[in-house]
Chains A and B, each alone.
Chain A
Amino acid sequence: MSTSTDTIESLVKQDYKYGFITDVESESAPPGLNEDIIRLISTKKQEPQWLTDWRLKAYRHWLTLKEPQWQFVKYPPVDFQDITYYSAPKQKGDAPKSLDEVDPKLLETYEKLGIPLRERARLAGVAVDAVFDSVSVGTTYREDLAKQGIIFCSFSEAVREHPDLVRKYLGSVVPYTDNYYATLNSAVFSDGSFCYIPKGVRCPMELSTYFRINAAKSGQFERTLIIADDRASVSYLEGCTAPMRDENQLHAAVVELVALEGSEIKYSTVQNWYPGDEQGRGGIYNFVTKRGLCKGRNSRITWTQVETGSAITWKYPSCILLGDGSKGEFYSVAVVNNRQQADTGTKMIHIGKNTRSTIVSKGISAGRGQNSYRGLVEIRQSAENARNFSQCDSMLIGNQCGAHTFPYIEVKNTTASVEHEASTSKIGEDQIFYCNSRGLETQDAVNMIVNGFCKEVFKELPMEFAVEAQKLLGVSLEGSVG
């Protein structure tokens, strides 16, 4: 009995490979939060007055809010005055005009993470915006994309170069009053990615942002805004890592997606923030608000996430299905191990007629991890013939972890159809022995079982991410994926 359990333990105890620190001189704001800090961030980014005012409005609203307590996670109170809200690698002279001028140490960091940015080595078919602490250090393939009218750049650049688009859509899906962390983000957000796909254009490559926290005691508050105009389509990937540090660091991002008529946005995340050590020391608090608005008829938004990192994950990528015939999808694998906690799920708000939503959530708990699925399916009165299907499966590895499911269903239209399925299973000694007795080693058996469990989600990921996700889970590639 002990042998297979040991193997499971060693499997889930893989070292965090991305825990190194880049030694760069950085320019940071003093820790603490007040209106001066917000003005400083805004000035650093050469923002127009309307944006500074928007930040300040958010800050003033934030002061009236209380940190949410309803989520099923435990952590000591965050001291918001002890966080550095702006940290950027120091630039020598003017801002780099192209990737060639970027500090080689930064380029090396991304190379170590498997994200080469230099022209010769950069990833084929994937355009990358690399965000380091509070700033974007570079975006690849920008010119190629611009030829088709696609805008893909850092958020700060977008504010300067495409202020009308930013002003029109910023806060249109997640208003600055939305929730505690989103409001905080609205006040202090630093950088992130901006993406606009014009009418009728199918983005020819995957767009991706790679987030890296480096500086100690700093928080990361990025903001991403993606707009797909009529009949446009885009697939967007997000990856993230952070050094191993003993103190907890806060990551409070906001992602807004806007899908206009007949357009499609596929947003995939492989979240691998530092999860803390075995005893639960350190790790990222990942308190993120992600929401997509299916604004136009027959538009479609797909969220796919593989969550393996962070000490605490609190996120609910959601879809507002406003346009008639629009579709929202949520595919999620969330893994908790050691002392990690996750409270994650989605919200599907059906407003338009004939709207459809699909939720597939796979939670894997190991060690002393606690994994909660929390999901809302809301069918408004106007949503004639709305359909939802939800499936929430939990898998337990070992006997000190927990899995919890909190489904919320609100239906105000009698023509709606809502289905919810849930299951909990345990990787059993029996399953492992069965595989052994067919010639398979225990580790391969565990990989196979976990991979089988996550299959429905992995098949939604773009090929490259599917591979990374499977490596992350220590699973071998199963023939049918990708």
Chain B
Amino acid sequence: MTKTPILQIDNLHAGVEGKEILKGLTLTIHAGEVHALMGLNGSGKSTLAAILAGRDGYEVSKGTVTYMGHDLLDMDPEVRAREGVFLAFQYPVEIPGVNSTYFLKAALNEIRKHRGQSELDAIDFLALVREKMKLLELGEDLLKRSVNSGFSGGEKKRAEIFQMAVLDPILAILDETDSGLDIDALKAVAEGVNKLRRPDSAQLVITHYQRLLNYIVPEHVHVMADGRIVKSGDKTLALELESKGYDWLLKSS
């Protein structure tokens, strides 16, 4: 039996306002895998995350992105989410006055409706939320507050992972989830992500530093430079980068 890939990016060229940022990126992710995408600032990592989630303003000039056998680029962002794509934001957005529980319940029920499942009522939803909070060792007060409003950097990142736990995606993209976290927060977030690993889903972890990969251990590590992947390897590649820096790769590419 051949494994169907969850995500297949083939020779993707894309940019903003006529400026090409991704210049022929190719990447395949299978179920059960964790991939790390590393690279210097400006190499196009976050652009890729934005394009996968469907943010407006990016033009794809060439190449394809296939998600679970379908053309991902053809879907609206909310449809991608309902189909199981989840982006943990580098800078989670604050929505004052909108209760976190209410927000998450609305989101989950949109996804459930899309899958032909019945919507969860408040009681069932709360039970699910409690279970996930326990899993991630989070305090309930987070849910009583408005979405990301007045959260510290660490709280925002943990809230993202919590949303991921509740929405239960097939493909989770973590965009620099480690940035701005101290070591304890980093560990907590990474442990949460690890607990959410499943054989039928996949994670794409975008990071600048190797240190996150001490806690989230990827099967595959890719290094991006100038809009494409210049080297792929296993987790030892990340360690090599840590000791040698990016320069040796950029020179050889």
Give the complex CA separation of A434 and B76 in angstroms.
13
CB proximity to A under 8 Å, residues B43-73: 53-57
Contact residues in A for B146 (Cβ distance below 8 Å): 452
Are B81 and A449 neighbours in the complex by a CB distance under 8 Å?
A: no
Q: Pick the contact of B102 from A439, A449, A454, A480 — CB < 8 Å?
A: A480
Q: Check: B138 CB closer than 8 A to any chain A CB.
A: no
Contact residues in B for A451 (Cβ distance below 8 Å): 97-98
Could you tell me the distance in whole angstroms from the C-beta of A394 to the nearest C-beta in chain B?
Answer: 12
Chain A residue, CB-CB nearest to B96: A452
Mask for A375-393, Cβ within 8 A of B = 1, else 0? Answer: 0000000000000000000
Q: Check: B189 CB closer than 8 A to any chain A CB.
A: no
Are A449 and B98 neighbours in the complex by a CB distance under 8 Å?
A: yes
A-B CB pair tally, cutoff 8 Å: 90
CB proximity to A under 8 Å, residues B106-156: 106-108, 110-111, 114, 122, 146
Could you tell me the distance in whole angstroms from the C-beta of B79 to the nearest C-beta in chain A?
Answer: 8
Q: Check: A22 CB closer than 8 A to any chain B CB.
A: no
Contact residues in A for B53 (Cβ distance below 8 Å): 433, 437
Contact residues in B for A437 (Cβ distance below 8 Å): 53-54, 77-78, 80-81, 86-87, 89
Contact residues in B for A279 (Cβ distance below 8 Å): none
CB proximity to B under 8 Å, residues A393-440: 425, 428-431, 433-440
* A448 in contact with B78 given A1-B56, A434-B92, A438-B163 (CB within 8 Å): no
Mask for B154-194, Cβ within 8 A of A = 1, else 0? Answer: 00000000010001000000000000000000000000000
Q: Check: B208 CB closer than 8 A to any chain A CB.
A: no
Give the complex CA separation of A471 and B77 in angstroms.
26
Give the complex CA separation of A274 and B86 in angstroms.
44
Contact residues in A for B95 (Cβ distance below 8 Å): 431, 434-435, 448-449, 452
CB proximity to B under 8 Å, residues A346-401: none
* A478 in contact with B102 given A434-B95, A439-B82, A440-B78 (CB within 8 Å): yes
Could you tell me the distance in whole angstroms from the C-beta of A335 to the nearest C-beta in chain B?
Answer: 15
Contact residues in A for B99 (Cβ distance below 8 Å): 452, 478-480
Contact residues in A for B78 (Cβ distance below 8 Å): 436-437, 439-442
Chain A residue, CB-CB nearest to B84: A439
A-B contact pairs, 10 of them (CB 8 A): A2-B56, A433-B55, A433-B56, A437-B80, A438-B163, A439-B111, A448-B103, A452-B95, A453-B97, A479-B99
Query: 6 closest pairs, A vs B, by CB?
Result: A452-B97, A452-B98, A439-B81, A436-B77, A438-B107, A434-B93
Residues of A within 8 A of B (CB): 1-4, 425, 428-431, 433-442, 444, 448-449, 451-456, 478-480
Residues of B within 8 A of A (CB): 53-57, 76-78, 80-82, 86-87, 89, 92-99, 102-104, 106-108, 110-111, 114, 122, 146, 163, 167
